């Protein structure tokens, strides 16, 4: 499973969005329907799954699914 697929699954489970809505370019709020609580839950799950720390500043910069995926890959040292 790629980082994108893993993040896609986390977002779908948290927001009940379908896979077609959670594309790499999808806006986390507009397209995926994330509210602040959803984003917090996503951060916590990502931190746990990838054993990384996400600062509030970093999470605040995530606008798209790509932003989140790229942050995770960089923080976890994953090269796909």
Residues noted as catalytic = 35
Q: What is the pLDDT of residue 80?
A: 83
d(CA 25, CA 43): 18
Q: What's the pLDDT tens digit per position in 2-60?
A: 999 999 999 999 998 999 999 999 999 999 999 999 999 999 999 999 999 999 999 99
Q: What end-to-end distance do the CA atoms of the chain give, in Å?
A: 11
Query: What global pTM score does this model have?
Result: 0.92
Domains of the chain: 3-76 (1.10.1200.10)
Q: What is the pLDDT of residue 62?
A: 94
28 close to 39: Cβ distance less than 8 angstroms: yes
């Amino acid at each position: 499973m790629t980082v994108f697929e893993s993040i896609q699954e986390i977002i779908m489970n948290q927001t009940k969005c379908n896979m077609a809505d959670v594309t790499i370019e999808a806006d986390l709020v507009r397209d995926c329907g994330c509210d602040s609580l959803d984003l917090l839950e996503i951060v916590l799950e990502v931190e746990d799954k990838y054993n990384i720390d996400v600062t509030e500043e970093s999470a605040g910069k995530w606008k798209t699914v790509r932003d989140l995926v790229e942050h995770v890959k960089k923080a976890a040292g994953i090269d796909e």
